[in-house]
Amino acid sequence: MERVIEIVNYLMKQVYVHGENPCSERDLFDSLVQLGYSPEEINVAFKLLYSFPDTVKTSNEIQMDADFDLEDGFRILSPDEQRKLSVVCQGEIIRLMSSSLLTLQELERILFEVSQIDSNEIGLRELETIIHKVIGDAERLMMILPPRLSEGNPNFLLN
């Protein structure tokens, strides 16, 4: 089954790169045989592909859908992101998103920065540093990360 999935992956990449009909089914079949796959594996892969609904999109269609609206949706953390972020950080990110204090684009930039840090687990201090890096607007930062009295931050005296 693993080899069948490899074939499906190969075929889907061909469709993504070259459009819906990169070449004939026979040409694809021949090239897969040359790559070392058996005819039975190839037939199973084609049957599997034909069983999918017609939702595969080309790169042009994906570009046109780039402005989709996620108003009713939400972003979940990948398993790698969950492993990298402490549970407290995950909760803080969910709180900020549900309070509309972070945009989806800002969240993605934060998660990208998290992925670049060479550490097993990111805590609240690291998350705070990343948020400061991603969000440049001081007023929004005050809403997201209010100053803590215990840190000796004199900004709270100005409010």
Report long-range pairs for 120-125 (Cβ below 8 Å, ≥24 apart).
Answer: 120/84, 121/83, 121/84, 121/85, 121/86, 122/84, 122/85, 122/86, 122/89, 123/86, 123/88, 123/89, 124/86, 124/88, 124/89, 124/92
> What percent of the chain is helix, strand and coil (3-state, nearest 5)?
65, 0, 30
Tens-digit pLDDT profile for residues 17-35: 766 666 777 888 888 899 8
Domain parsing of the chain, residue ranges: 2-55, 79-147
Look at the pTM and tell me if it is higher than 0.75: no
Tens-digit pLDDT profile for residues 35-44: 899 989 888 8
